[in-house]
């Protein structure tokens, strides 16, 4: 029997075709539109040319400069934060290490949107909480002004710092302590060992993290949207957003910018993969060592404070600020002046559109997670466990959306589905399809991590005992994957509820979701109502998160 024509082979082919359709087709549309130099709304384009790309460098040069400057600043800060935290938590005897490690992951789940809103509340000139307190305490002028390039970079760094932390601490943990010990035994001092042995060994991991973080910063949208626009600072993502929201919509220009961004991100991520030496984006949990811890004495408590400070700045403070705002009639930090009320929550929950948006987000979360996990499990099995030809391509395709900035992908999907004969634009179906596509990397990554931990021989043994493919999947593979499947489900669910970049383009009057509604509320309702909505969304994510934490207690995950 030729392997190509087995049921496995057919299913693989089907999967390959479907994934290619979902992932590549929108990008193809985008490429075509970027070359459109005629009527931006005509499809297919009437004139082709490179004018859009040229215009990018002529008219939008400032935007590109802004993007790079902010991304660099944010990356530097994020990597510093991540490195410091990683060092403290893996190399020193800071107290409460396990709890702290868990807490360090929290900012990852706080959406940058909520973070940006919160910091707008905290640090906007004159009315920001910090500045109010500063003036009340006798200061003049403003202590902070979040509406600046630095402000945007700060917010991005604060929330991306945790990604850098996870990647760098993984690098630190994968270093064999014997390497340091042999230096110490020969007689090298702590400092010398640190500089000549530890640092060089950890450097590739750090550099890899830097590249990865930089790539993500380039494509970041929420902070630039909330903070950048009032600050008159446009970056590529907000410029793309802006282009499609004016009349006439400049889809060609937006596509060109989107593609340029995508190409740069793609290049960075390719470098990153080369550098870290992995063939795929999938997590392979190699052996993790417990490196030798340095005794810091009383300094350990200071270090504890540093970690706590990060969690405070990234999680506690923003949530507290939003909570306070959402319970007031007019936002103020001066508690003696505040008028407290629950009206904002009443309105948020009673406002039909908000309720619908929240319900839609939850529905999409449940639906996409449930269906997605099954399909992704199948895909993962095909990629990592079958012998089928073409599985390498499937893996590549499935990880592809990670290299495309969400916003750009949203634009691509918009343009693709505006012009495809199937009328699902403006419906929840399109959103579901879009969510599924952009969640592929997350789901596949998580499931792959679990699948690879399942020794191949466990499955082979089932086959040898006479079980067919389906029976083996059902009785051996899937039960063993259960914890990983649940983790993947929760991650996808949370990502759906937080999703912004794709949703902003694909919503319709009957297909509203929560994150864009929060953005819209920020623009056209008071900050108090916006805060209430943001907290309701965060609450949903937190509930899912708590379940996830209980489930994965003790399990370390890599976020890359």
Task: Draw the binding track, 89-128, toward other proteins (x: CB under 8 A; -: no contact).
Answer: -----------------------------------xxxx-
Q: Which stretch binds other proteins (CB under 8 A): 85-93, 345-353, 359-367, 433-441?
A: 345-353
CB-side exposure of 441: number of CA atoms within 13 Å? 17
Positions 34 through 63 that interact with other proteins (CB under 8 A): 41, 43, 59-63
Nearer to other proteins, 49 or 230 (CB): 230
239 is an interface residue for other proteins by CB under 8 A = yes
Positions 323 through 342 that interact with other proteins (CB under 8 A): 330-331
Distances, alpha carbon 466 to alpha carbons 277, 387, 462, 477, in Å = 38, 19, 7, 15
Among 249, 340, 359, 389, binds other proteins (CB under 8 A): 249
Nearer to other proteins, 49 or 353 (CB): 353
Query: What is the per-residue burial (b if ≥16 Cβ within 10 Å, else e) of 193-230?
Result: bbeebbeebbeebbbbbbbbbbbbbbbbbbbbbbbbee
Tokens of 320: 């507290």
CB-side exposure of 187: number of CA atoms within 13 Å? 0
Cα–Cα dist 345/536, whole Å: 9
Which residues are within 8 A (CB) of 29 and not within 5 positions of it... i.e. 6 or more apart? 412, 415, 416, 419
Among 24, 204, 479, 556, binds other proteins (CB under 8 A): 479
Closest separation in Å from C-beta 250 to other proteins: 9
346 is an interface residue for other proteins by CB under 8 A = no
Positions 136 through 195 that interact with other proteins (CB under 8 A): none
Cα–Cα dist 320/326, whole Å: 10
Nearer to other proteins, 95 or 249 (CB): 249
Cα–Cα dist 541/206, whole Å: 30
Among 426, 453, 542, 547, binds other proteins (CB under 8 A): 426
Task: Draw the binding track, 369-408, toward other proteins (x: CB under 8 A; -: no contact).
Answer: ------------------x---------------------
The dihedral formed by the CA atoms of 276, 279, 284 and 288, expressed in degrees to the nearest 10:
-30
Closest separation in Å from C-beta 550 to other proteins: 20
Q: Tell the residue number behind the tokens 């067919």, with chain if given.
A: 468
Q: Which stretch binds other proteins (CB under 8 A): 90-98, 216-224, 350-358, 532-540?
A: 350-358
Among 138, 187, 297, 352, binds other proteins (CB under 8 A): 352
Closest separation in Å from C-beta 322 to other proteins: 16
Q: Which stretch binds other proteins (CB under 8 A): 108-116, 152-160, 241-249, 547-555?
A: 241-249
Phi, psi angle pair for 40, to nearest 5°: -65, -20
Number of residues that bind other proteins (CB under 8 A): 69
Q: Which stretch binds other proteins (CB under 8 A): 96-104, 244-252, 405-413, 531-539?
A: 244-252
Which residues are within 8 A (CB) of 299 and not within 5 positions of it... i.e. 6 or more apart? none
CA angle centred on 308, ends 303 and 314, rounded to 5°: 130
Among 38, 139, 230, 305, binds other proteins (CB under 8 A): 230
Count CB atoms within 10 A of the CB of residue 46.
Answer: 10
Q: Which stretch binds other proteins (CB under 8 A): 197-205, 464-472, 490-498, 533-541?
A: 464-472
Cα–Cα dist 500/518, whole Å: 10
Cα–Cα dist 220/156, whole Å: 8
Among 20, 207, 351, 433, binds other proteins (CB under 8 A): 351
Cα–Cα dist 235/65, whole Å: 8
Helix, strand, coil percentages, rounded to 5, for the chain? 75, 0, 25
Among 467, 486, 542, 547, binds other proteins (CB under 8 A): 467
Q: Which stretch binds other proteins (CB under 8 A): 161-169, 267-275, 377-385, 415-423?
A: 415-423
Tokens of 406: 């969400």
521 is an interface residue for other proteins by CB under 8 A = yes
Cα–Cα dist 53/67, whole Å: 16
Number of separate helices (H) and strands (E) present in the chain: 27, 0
User: Please, are residues 418 and 486 in contact by the beta-carbon 8 Å criterion?
Assistant: no
Among 312, 471, 539, 549, binds other proteins (CB under 8 A): 471
Closest separation in Å from C-beta 388 to other proteins: 11
Among 44, 204, 353, 392, binds other proteins (CB under 8 A): 353
Nearer to other proteins, 139 or 508 (CB): 508
| Alpha helix ranges (H) inside 43-128 | 51-59, 61-91, 97-104, 106-109, 112-123
Q: Helix (H, G, I), strand (E, B), or coil: what is residue 36?
A: strand
Among 185, 247, 286, 553, binds other proteins (CB under 8 A): 247
Closest separation in Å from C-beta 135 to other proteins: 10
Q: Rule CB under 8 A: which residues touch other proteins?
A: 1-3, 41, 43, 59-63, 124-127, 229-230, 232, 234, 239, 242, 244-249, 330-331, 351-353, 356, 387, 414, 417-419, 423, 425-426, 455, 457-458, 460-468, 471-472, 475-476, 479-480, 508-510, 520-527
């Amino acid at each position: 029997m030729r392997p190509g024509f087995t049921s496995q082979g057919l299913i693989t082919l089907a999967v390959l075709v479907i994934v290619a359709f979902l992932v590549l087709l929108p990008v193809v549309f985008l490429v075509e539109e970027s070359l459109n130099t005629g009527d931006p709304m005509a499809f297919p384009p009437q004139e082709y040319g490179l004018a859009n790309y040229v215009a990018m460098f002529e008219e939008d040069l400032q935007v590109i400069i802004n993007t790079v400057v902010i991304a660099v600043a944010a990356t530097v800060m994020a990597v510093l934060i991540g490195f410091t935290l990683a060092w403290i938590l893996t190399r020193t005897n800071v107290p409460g290490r396990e709890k702290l490690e868990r807490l360090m992951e929290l900012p990852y789940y706080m959406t940058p949107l909520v973070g940006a809103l919160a910091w707008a509340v905290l640090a906007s000139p004159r009315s920001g909480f910090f500045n109010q307190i500063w003036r009340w305490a006798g200061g003049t002028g403003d202590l902070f002004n979040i509406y600046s390039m630095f402000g945007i970079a700060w917010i991005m760094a604060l929330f991306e710092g945790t990604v850098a932390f996870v990647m760098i601490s993984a690098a630190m943990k994968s270093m064999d302590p014997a390497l340091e010990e042999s230096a110490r035994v020969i007689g090298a001092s702590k400092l010398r060992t640190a500089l000549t042995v530890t640092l060089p060994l950890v450097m590739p991991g750090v550099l890899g993290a830097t590249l990865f973080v930089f790539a993500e910063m380039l494509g970041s949208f929420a902070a630039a949207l909330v903070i950048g626009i009032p600050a008159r600072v446009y970056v590529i993502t907000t410029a793309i957003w802006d282009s499609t929201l004016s009349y006439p919509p400049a889809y060609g220009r937006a596509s060109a910018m989107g593609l340029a961004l995508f190409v740069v991100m793609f290049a960075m991520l390719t470098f990153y993969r080369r550098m870290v030496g992995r063939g795929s984006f999938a997590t392979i949990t190699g052996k993790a060592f417990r490196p030798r811890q340095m005794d810091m004495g009383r300094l350990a408590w200071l270090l504890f404070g540093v970690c706590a400070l990060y969690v405070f700045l990234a999680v506690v403070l923003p949530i507290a600020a939003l909570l306070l705002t959402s319970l007031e009639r007019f936002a103020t930090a001066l508690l003696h002046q505040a008028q407290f009320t629950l009206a904002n929550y009443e309105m948020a929950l009673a406002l039909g559109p908000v309720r619908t948006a929240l319900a839609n987000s939850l529905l999409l979360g449940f639906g996409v997670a449930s269906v997605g996990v099954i399909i992704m499990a199948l895909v993962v099995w095909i990629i990592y466990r079958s012998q089928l030809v073409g599985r390498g391509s499937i893996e590549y395709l499935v990880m592809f959306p990670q290299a495309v900035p969400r916003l750009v992908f949203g634009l691509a999907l918009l343009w693709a589905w505006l012009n495809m004969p199937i009328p699902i634009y403006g419906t929840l179906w399109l959103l579901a399809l879009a969510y599924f596509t952009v969640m592929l990397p997350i789901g596949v990554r998580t499931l792959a991590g679990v699948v690879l931990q399942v020794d191949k021989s466990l499955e082979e043994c089932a086959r040898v005992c006479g079980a067919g493919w389906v029976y083996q999947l059902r009785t051996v593979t899937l039960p063993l994957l259960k914890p990983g499947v649940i983790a993947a489900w929760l991650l996808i669910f949370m990502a759906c509820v937080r999703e912004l970049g794709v949703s902003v383009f694909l919503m319709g009057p009957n297909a509203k979701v929560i994150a864009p509604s929060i953005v819209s509320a920020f623009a056209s309702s008071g900050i108090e109502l916006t805060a209430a909505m943001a907290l309701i969304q965060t609450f949903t994510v937190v509930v899912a998160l708590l379940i996830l934490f209980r489930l994965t207690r003790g399990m370390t995950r890599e976020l890359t």
